[in-house]
Structure 1
């Protein structure tokens, strides 16, 4: 807290998949995620002037890229009569971050407020007959641009006084967060895998999927629609020797990670436990080699391969599910018979 401000109440807003869509947020169902709702009181007030109220630091267990800060009603009013009332128009200043300070950009909403790289603040402050999103209160989604383990905002309040003013100064702070997500795109029979995008990924880059909705469960993309290319060369061969197959996978590892791969050798439309290979990836590594040993010669024809990279080995123990870091990439491949056997990517 700053100065004389105190926390009058603080609560967690739990995840609620049934929460209604909000026109000021992007995705519109961002209210479905968990969040916080705080009430700050007793901060020092000078009529018509700004007051510093509190600082909030959002900390992540892994580095995350471009998280979204959803503001669903931040501001305050004290008193109800025309002659005894105070409105408190809010500002949200982005004051720090780690490992570097990120920057705001507007994703959606914020009527009556402007979003700059360092602040969300009212365009114009005026006496208001009633309060709503865009009038005293601010509502919208800001993208926090950068790869961060934490970022810090400072809350300020601008007073508009009516008559003698209201009783205790009040400012509500209501925030939710969502993360950029990458999803798998093999056919549905293989199951879905989703990852929060962090500082480690497959290939040379990673782009966010599912920008239109927050989900509580892993989601796949339509088969074969992901533009990211984990392997690099779309005609790369997975080299075979006897019953062993090997593939060098390009990676970008900002943190120690684990990569796992599954090849549907028997072409039965699923990834089995004995079709998995895995390797540890050191911080700063640019490649990881996966090696599969098969019990019988693969069936010739088209099939699929899934690659997953995440910070924890447990996150890539299964070909499906949600992981709090990394990336998932699926590739169509073709299996060949012959000396040693080979497989070639088809996309």
Structure 2
């Protein structure tokens, strides 16, 4: 019969057929047979269990997590074995991709003091201790069951009862004999055999399968008992009987979900431990052992149910500005480290050098519920879609400077985020009925505060270069958001006058004009705003027509009325219309401001002098001005 194990030689004609104790944590009611398997965790040790010393054996995981198995009482840690040592069937263990060669540690439950029938309690304890808290580990057990020898014989199997507070057991997989309740690992039929596949002379196999321990702890403990069932007559037992069990352990992992370029040689992955970003984490990569790439990687970073944030606000590409996020955290039972990375340069990897500015970290004390991370936007921030990553862990060395790699505690979450441009102002100059320049501008709250332009085509806008240090003609870029910008046409080319100015943002008029100064309000200077401002200049011109009326008489003191017609014949509006006449002290105009093409009438009266009568004529000159 397979799986025979004995700590003593045969005695009294009885042979020991060992049982492999299935060590599991159970949740809920009794499950057996063809029940669908649970999703199982998957970081598995890559080495072998250490040779037992003082009933203790240990093994390490790739992340640095360690598991140590100890026993007490009549239960002994006896050696190193493999998961397939008690026979193998696909789907018997969890996760489904476990293999026969996976290292296992063997336990022997000594049952020599038990009666040949009934339950035998007080056979010691089994304890699995991790160096960090672990949530929902999976324990696989091979070969729970066996028989005694002799004419009168009994079937026997160990029973493991969970004693860890807050932990329940769930059947994850197993053969038809494997039974799990909320706190117990046992067999469906007590007449167990010794092998997981081959049916023994009892008519049944051993109990073999996987158990998920639902709960978070660093220690998972079990009380050990056994059940004896007479098979032949009154049954039998002897001092050297026992049930041997082979145990393997796996743990759940959480992965990020940013695109695969961010994985580099080892994706960010955490043993799920009860320490969270937000309020919890989900197990990922359930059936791939020790993966180096994330199963969730994707352009949307939506492959995981991250809950620290719904989304991230845009980052403004304002060099030297700060970007802060308050990260909700939970399950902080010890000093922990929270770090975040922003791919500012959109290179597809998270840089860790101090000069990159892509990392921000904070240390939090036990009981903390949030951590604030603050980045200073570097000069190399690239406008467009990018990604952010957040990690939390109890061990700073696993988190700080480590946007990738394995961690023994905590969680990783990835989010898409946009880097948006600073507000820009495209400033354009138009000259009507001709070209000209240079025209000078002075601006406030822009990175470059002056600009000069000469138009190149009549009635066609010519853009003012707002960044002379960059090739090509560039818009002006705001120096700070939510702060007003002013634009002043500070110097006009000779022969030209200011006509109009207007600004639009997204098709909506913005700004207030006073003289030649346009003020764009702070509310318009927002991330991503693209404001277009047009200044128009024309060449001013004016005409004057003077008409004399009828004299009131031909003697000194008689009056002569005059009518003046003033017309704006240029390309710019005119203000401060004024007429100067060599004979008339006061000329009054109906209007003192004229739009392009508009006209006004002015009047004045001259009183004849004796010299005018003596000369027989009146000679006077008039001129008009406007600005």
Q: Shared fold by TM > 0.5?
A: yes
Contact 1:307-1:329 within 8 A present in 2 as well: yes
State the SS of the aligned residue for 2:141. strand
Q: Does 1:264 align with 2:328?
A: no
Residues 343 and 74 of structure 1, relative CA distance in 2, 3 Å threshold: farther
Q: Which residue in 1 is equivalent to 2:183?
A: 118
State the SS of the aligned residue for 1:107. strand
Residues 85-123 of structure 1, C-alpha deviations (whole Å, 9 max, x = no match) = 5532232211x22xx341112122252243111112222
Deviation at 1:229, TM superposition (A): 2.8
- How many residues align? The count is 333
State the SS of the aligned residue for 1:125. coil
Q: Which residue in 2 is equivalent to 1:89?
A: 157
Normalised by the length of structure 2, the TM-score is 0.48
- Partner of residue 23 from structure 1, selected from 91, 95, 99: 91
Residues 32-55 of structure 1, C-alpha deviations (whole Å, 9 max, x = no match) = 765421234353121122223331
Contact 1:308-1:316 within 8 A present in 2 as well: yes
Residues 321 and 65 of structure 1, relative CA distance in 2, 3 Å threshold: same
Residues 1-51 of structure 1, C-alpha deviations (whole Å, 9 max, x = no match) = 676x363x62245899xxx88411221124576542123435312112222
Q: Which residue in 1 is equivalent to 2:371?
A: 288
Deviation at 1:272, TM superposition (A): 0.8
Q: Which residue in 2 is equivalent to 1:188?
A: 260
Residues 90 and 202 of structure 1, relative CA distance in 2, 3 Å threshold: same
Q: Which residue in 1 is equivalent to 2:287?
A: 212
Deviation at 1:152, TM superposition (A): 0.9
Q: Which residue in 2 is equivalent to 1:54?
A: 124
Distance in 2 between residues matched to 1:307 and 1:186, nearest whole Å: 11
Contact 2:192-2:207 within 8 A present in 1 as well: no
Contact 1:104-1:145 within 8 A present in 2 as well: yes
Deviation at 1:273, TM superposition (A): 0.9
Aligned runs of 1:146-185 on 2, under 5 Å?
A: 146-161=215-230, 162=232, 165=236, 168-185=240-257
Residues 166 and 136 of structure 1, relative CA distance in 2, 3 Å threshold: farther
- What is the CA RMSD across the aligned residues, in angstroms? 3.1
Q: Which residue in 1 is equivalent to 2:174?
A: 109
Structure with greater Cα Rg? 2
Q: Does 1:246 align with 2:324?
A: yes
Deviation at 1:309, TM superposition (A): 0.7
Q: Which residue in 1 is equivalent to 2:406?
A: 322
Residues 221-245 of structure 1, C-alpha deviations (whole Å, 9 max, x = no match) = 2312433234423253457783432
Q: Which residue in 2 is equivalent to 1:236?
A: 313
Q: Which moved more, 1:289-298 or 1:216-225?
A: 216-225
Deviation at 1:253, TM superposition (A): 3.6
Residues 22 and 216 of structure 1, relative CA distance in 2, 3 Å threshold: farther
State the SS of the aligned residue for 1:24. coil
Contact 1:75-1:157 within 8 A present in 2 as well: no
Contact 1:243-1:297 within 8 A present in 2 as well: no
Unaligned runs of 5+ in 1: none
Deviation at 1:263, TM superposition (A): 0.9
* Relative contact order, higher structure (CA 8 A, sep 6+): 1
State the SS of the aligned residue for 2:348. coil
Contact 2:117-2:154 within 8 A present in 1 as well: no
Contact 2:137-2:252 within 8 A present in 1 as well: yes
Q: Does 1:68 align with 2:68?
A: no
State the SS of the aligned residue for 2:207. strand
Q: Which residue in 2 is equivalent to 1:139?
A: 208
Distance in 1 between residues matched to 2:126 and 2:139, nearest whole Å: 12
Deviation at 1:292, TM superposition (A): 1.9
State the SS of the aligned residue for 1:132. coil
Residues 297 and 343 of structure 1, relative CA distance in 2, 3 Å threshold: farther
Q: Does 1:201 align with 2:265?
A: no
Distance in 2 between residues matched to 1:24 and 1:137, nearest whole Å: 12
Distance in 1 between residues matched to 2:131 and 2:220, nearest whole Å: 13
Distance in 1 between residues matched to 2:348 and 2:273, nearest whole Å: 30
Deviation at 1:171, TM superposition (A): 0.9
